[in-house]
Amino acid sequence: MFREFLSLFAVLWLCWSPSTGEAQAEYMKYKDPKQPVATRVKDLLSRMTLDEKIGQMVQIDRSVANEEVMRTNFIGSVLSGGGSEPLPKATAEDWVNMINGFQKGALASRLGIPMMYGIDAVHGHNNVYNATIFPHNVGLGATRDPNLAYKIGVATALEVRATGIPYVFAPCIAVCRDPRWGRCYESYSEDPNIVKEMTAIIPGLQGDIPNNSRKGSPFIGGKSKVAACAKHFVGDGGTTKGINENNTEIDWHGLLSIHMPAYSDSILKGVATVMISYSSWNGLKMHANRNLVTGFLKDTLKFKGFVISDWQGIDKITTPPDSNYSFSVEASVGAGIDMVMVPYKYSEFIQDLTHAVKNNIIPMERIDDAVQRILLVKFTMGLFENPLADLSLVSELGKQEHRDLAREAVRKSLVLLKNGKNGSAPLLPLPKKASKVLVAGTHADNLGYQCGGWTIKWQGFIGNEDTRGTTILGALKMEVDPSTEVVYRETPEGDFVKSSNFEYAIVVVGEPTYAESAGDSITLTMVDPGPDIIKNVCENVKCVVIVVSGRPIVIEPYVSSIDALVAAWLPGTEGQGVTDVLFGEYGFSGKLPRTWFKSVDQLPMNVGDPHYDPLYPYGFGLTTESVKDLVARSTSAAAGSSVSIFAMLKTLIIILFLTG
């Protein structure tokens, strides 16, 4: 009896003892930051149900997210679509509080897997009021400066983290081969070599990848860095006639040599995610292209991060879109897409994917591959240790150092296309001191036009109220001498210009704001009455015309009447970068990142094409010296001249002395 009592006591002790059963059951390797990431991923994956795994593969828009949705559906990610914000002119604190609310819902789920919040930050933290808006990628391509792109990545990561966000859908590494494409300004260049070089922004965003990193493994270097996303895989910039989301017709060699190099480079730099393109390659939708997504990206290029769809991208596998949603789910996940940007009908997606797995249409191995890739990125980001954002970085948003960097980017991006009319002296740099100058044009005092699409709202905004920055007109008024009278007329009449005795005029014209398909254009013309403004001003006074656009536009008919012509692209919030070079504080140095056509009938036309006959060729850009350098050089030359005259006089005196 006593022996039986001892046995029972031993069993009870084992069940109760905190050093054995219960404690061992509570120890979870995935929660231990001392464990290797691979071990943590494997441990967590082994604990997950099918519902929890599929939940991790879902990304929903913030407008349908709340704590309950996050907890009960095990949602892996939330995003802000273009312009989707907590409230108008939301502060960094507003963003942090909203995101932490969603995160608390995710952490309350059975396994407490944190969600990752994503946002488009394609030229700075562009959805957020008061953020620094950098030039769009086409302007950065004109700088030919990968180190500048790196520094912009660093600044953007800090501003994004300031609002509690750890993931950005950037950079776009498309190679735009036709300016009729509405996303051409998101491309650094028509030249794949320039695009490849500008992937330097990725280590700026994510941190410099350690030398011993495994090829293809994602890397995110701490709380001041964000996970990046190389997009849109692959060939999105090569569609027929530049039509957005259209078909890219090109052979395998062309795809590899033009559209793929930047992806190979991004993977070597440790990019965390890759987004799939809406477009097709030779008739097959990229969202359903298993050979390229799994076969090439994952197997050949050894990409270890996760692959994400574009916004409702899987819906568009069928024609018309969403006509067979269950097929779209099966085709996209089967192709190798790991996280799906639903963004609204998450219940239907979860239901269809669950059905496909349970009926062996999609193997469990494919689900496990997707989830382990997502978890790998989350562990690498440090999300499990620091899931909730704090307010420690809020002062980074729109800080002066970042605006100074953006100003530098603007001045380096400007391309001088013409300086002097019919053999006359160069007009630039302009004198700051003048009796009276004219500023004209639709884009001279319009921050929205200056920033372009993907700024505050998806399609951009018009006017000066939606965010903080300096317009070109505002910058001009700050730059000129206090005695100079600046007259602003958006659309001046010719007689007014002729009779007003202006010393010179600055005309700022360009394109409207647009994003994606709304920007597709077969005419590539400037906003009316741009041509009339050029005519009225430039026929009556010396003028510099500044073109604010996302791409080359029709300008050839007006060039002969213009004294100086500047391509300013979409410079963003820091208009003083434009006046820095107009008045010679710095010289012009930008080079065309893409060919400037004479007529749209020539398109598509890229450097190296047999029919290449541009108005301004790829790589063209006049240079000027800064006023400071000009003064220094002229002073040096004058000093040299004085020495020469002195030497000549000395020699003459000696000769006269010697000859008596």
For every residue of 91-149, DSSP letters joined together read -HHHHHHHHHHHHHHHHTSSS-PPPEEEE--SSBSTTSTT--BPPPHHHHHHHT-HHHH
Write b or e for each residue in 188-204: b if 16 or more Cβ atoms lie within 10 A of its Cβ, otherwise e.
Answer: bbbbbebbbbbbbbbbb
Catalytic residue numbers, as ranges = 310, 516
The answer, yes or no, to whether residue 8 has pLDDT greater than 60, is no
Please, what sign has the CA dihedral across residues 533, 534, 535, 536? positive
Is the pLDDT at 39 greater than 50? The verdict is yes
Residue 17 has pLDDT above 70, yes or no: no
Contact yes or no for 590/625 (Cβ under 8 A): no
**pLDDT tens, position by position, 302-338:** 999 999 999 999 999 999 999 999 999 999 999 999 9
Interval 370-374 mean pLDDT: 99
In the structure encoding, which two tokens stand for residue 22, read together?
Answer: 């219960």
H helical segments located in 592-626: none
Say what the pLDDT of residue 162 is. Answer: 98
Tell me the pLDDT tens digit for each residue of 501-525. 999 999 999 999 999 999 999 999 9
Confidence of residue 61 (pLDDT cuts 50, 70, 90): very high
State pTM to two decimals.
0.93
Phi, psi of 369 (to 5 degrees): -60, -45
How far, CA to CA in Å, does 516 sit from each of 162, 248, 308, 501, 578? 28, 16, 18, 44, 26
User: Looking at the predicted structure, is the pLDDT value of residue 370 above 60?
Assistant: yes
Query: Is residue 565 within 8 Å of residue 523, measured between CB atoms?
Result: no
Nearest to 168 by CA among 247, 109, 225: 225
Which helix (H) or strand (E) element contains residue 387?
A: none
239 DSSP assignment: -
Task: Report pLDDT digits (tens) over 587-633.
Answer: 999 999 999 999 999 999 999 999 999 999 999 999 999 888 877 77
